């Protein structure tokens, strides 16, 4: 478990993270979302003891990172900037990490195989592709077999196969009962990976909720209906008190759009009136729509309600 209690970080006049309080629970993938500069990396760095909070505290398994003995066995992390010694092979890089963190040597081979780098274990990371580098970073995070994993943009720059692999790995780590905290700007990927979301904007907590509730609360679903007799359909909808507007977007020509899930009443109405329908479908809001809606509101609120900081 990771606990943030009033976590705050100021850089001069700039407040990067403002009184963040939340709990990241085991057995779930918790997605960490926020626009560029929202404070995600700063928060993760404070959890990992790489930055000191100006106020408040971040605790992993009940303790601040600095008070952990053999921290690699408690929390593993993949941060955006990877530090790998250019002269060491992948194997030696991991071996040095293992030896300085009380991790048995056999674990090095295990994690190399786990991330699919076994065949290149004796090669220097300098020649690695982006995907191989990312796999080595993940191997370092898994080395101490920690109960908590933190991944900052783990699929950045990966090809579809790599993205699929990372997604399955992350899900399996949570299924093992581990705490998994992961940031990404790829909303479609996050929608497939995370169970729970923590969303921040300008350093402040905007949402701490399940994926399903977040989408339900922050984005609207729409019903689209299309008939070859467009006018008759419009009249029928109006008679029934259903508000419809011309649908917008690709392939929407000639269709009507209604707010919310109206598939049942519209289907019944069409049957009653003997209207032919060529399309009747519910468009479920995506995580991206929900995220854009929430964060744009937050930006507006900030712009109206608060003087910008330096
Ligand atoms: N060392 C630093 N000195 C001054 N300001 C900083 C420092 N590190 C971060 N910031 C500022 O703090 C804010 C939060 O940055 P942070 O990198 O945590 O955001 P982020 O959500 O991770 O962004 P991104 O999605 O772009 O990676 C930004 O305005 C950034 O410019």
Domain count, the chain: 2
Q: From the centroid of its chain, how far is CA 289?
A: 14
Q: In whole numbers, what is the pLDDT of the chain averaged over residues?
A: 89
CATH number at residue 258: 3.30.70.980
Do 149 and 263 fall into the same domain? no
Do 263 and 169 fall into the same domain? no
DSSP one-letter string for 182-198? EE-S-HHHHHHH-SEEE
φ/ψ of 94, rounded to 5, equals -70, -35
Do 254 and 122 fall into the same domain? no
Q: Please report how many Cα atoms fall inside a 13 Å half-sphere around the Cα of residue 268, on the Cβ side.
A: 5
Do 55 and 168 fall into the same domain? yes
Q: Is the CB of 137 under 6 A from ligand 1?
A: no
Mapped onto helix, strand or coil, the DSSP state of residue 89 is coil
Mapped onto helix, strand or coil, the DSSP state of residue 91 is helix
Do 123 and 271 fall into the same domain? no
Do 64 and 200 fall into the same domain? yes
Q: Is the CB of 38 under 6 A from ligand 1?
A: yes
> CA of 190: how far to CAs of 18, 80, 187, 219, in Å?
24, 17, 5, 16
Task: Give me the residues paired with residue 151 across strands.
Answer: 78, 182
293 falls within a domain: no
Task: Give me the residues paired with residue 148 across strands.
Answer: 75, 179
Express each pLDDT in 51-90 by its tens digit.
Answer: 999 999 999 999 999 999 888 899 999 987 556 666 788 8
Q: Is the pLDDT of residue 300 over 50?
A: no
Do 58 and 46 contact (CB within 8 A), yes or no?
yes
pLDDT score, position 125: 72
Do 132 and 72 fall into the same domain? yes
How would residue 308 be classed by pLDDT, with cut points 50, 70 and 90? very low
Atom of ligand 1 nearest to the CA of 43: 18
Span 266-295, average pLDDT = 92
Do 115 and 135 contact (CB within 8 A), yes or no?
yes
Is residue 149 within a helix (H) or strand (E), and if so which, with residue range?
strand 148-152
Express each pLDDT in 29-47 by its tens digit.
Answer: 999 999 999 999 999 999 9
Pairing of strands 222-226, 245-246: unpaired
Residues spanned by the domain of 238 = 220-283
Q: Is the pLDDT of residue 310 over 70?
A: no
Q: Please count the other Cβ atoms lying within 10 Å of the Cβ belonging to residue 293.
A: 15
φ/ψ of 117, rounded to 5, equals -105, 10
- Which protein residue has the closest C-alpha to ligand 1 atom 4? 11
308 falls within a domain: no
Express each pLDDT in 197-216 by its tens digit.
Answer: 999 999 999 999 999 899 88
Mapped onto helix, strand or coil, the DSSP state of residue 282 is strand
Q: Is the CB of 228 under 6 A from ligand 1?
A: no
- Could you tell me the maximum CA-CA distance found in the chain, to the nearest angstrom? 76
CA distance 169 to 78: 13
* 8-state DSSP, 119: G
- Which protein residue has the closest C-alpha to ligand 1 atom 12? 16
- Which protein residue has the closest C-alpha to ligand 1 atom 16? 39
Surface-to-core class of residue 244, CB atoms within 10 Å of its CB (0-12 exposed, 13-18 middle, 19+ buried): buried
Which one of 172, 196, 217 terminates a domain?
217
pLDDT score, position 228: 94
Closest by alpha carbon to 98, among 72, 118, 120, 116?
72
pLDDT score, position 172: 96
User: Given ligand 1 and candidates 41, 77, 309, which is best to mutate, with the most ligand atoms within 8 Å of its CB?
Assistant: 41
User: Given ligand 1 and candidates 11, 198, 309, which is best to mutate, with the most ligand atoms within 8 Å of its CB?
Assistant: 11
pTM (2 d.p.): 0.84
233 falls within a domain: yes
Closest by alpha carbon to 1, among 45, 51, 63?
63
Do 73 and 184 fall into the same domain? yes
Closest by alpha carbon to 125, among 136, 114, 112?
136
ipTM greater than 0.90:
yes
CA distance 76 to 301: 36
Token output for 253 = 């020509």
CATH number at residue 14: 3.40.50.300
């Amino acid at each position: 478990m990771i606990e943030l209690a009033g976590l705050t970080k100021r850089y001069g006049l700039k407040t990067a993270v403002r009184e963040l309080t939340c709990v990241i629970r085991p057995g779930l993938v918790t997605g960490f979302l926020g626009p560029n500069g929202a404070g995600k990396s700063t928060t993760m760095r404070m959890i990992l003891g790489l930055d000191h909070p100006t106020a408040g505290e971040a605790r992993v398994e009940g303790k601040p990172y600095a008070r952990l003995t053999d921290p690699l066995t408690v929390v593993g992390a993949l941060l955006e900037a990877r530090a790998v010694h250019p002269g060491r092979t992948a194997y030696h890089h991991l071996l040095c990490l293992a030896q300085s963190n009380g991790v048995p040597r056999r674990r090095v081979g295990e994690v190399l195989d786990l991330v699919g780098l076994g065949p290149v274990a004796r090669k220097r990371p300098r020649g690695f592709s982006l995907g191989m580098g990312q796999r080595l970073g993940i191997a370092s995070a898994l080395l101490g077999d920690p109960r908590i994993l933190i991944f900052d943009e783990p699929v950045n720059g990966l090809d579809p196969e790599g993205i699929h692999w990372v997604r399955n790995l992350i899900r399996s780590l949570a299924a093992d009962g581990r705490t998994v905290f992961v940031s990404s700007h790829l909303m479609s990927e996050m929608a497939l990976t995370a169970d729970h979301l923590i969303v921040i904007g300008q350093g402040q907590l905007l949402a701490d909720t399940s994926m399903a509730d977040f989408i339900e609360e922050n984005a609207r679903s729409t019903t689209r209906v299309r008939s070859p007799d467009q006018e008759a359909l419009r009249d029928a909808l109006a008679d029934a008190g259903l508000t419809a507007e011309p649908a917008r977007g690709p392939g929407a020509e000639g269709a009507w759009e209604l707010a919310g899930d109206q598939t049942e009443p519209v289907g019944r109405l069409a049957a009653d009136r003997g209207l032919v329908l060529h399309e009747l479908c519910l468009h479920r809001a995506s995580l991206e729509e929900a995220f854009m809606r929430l964060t744009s509101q937050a930006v507006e609120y900030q712009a109206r309600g608060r003087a910008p900081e330096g």
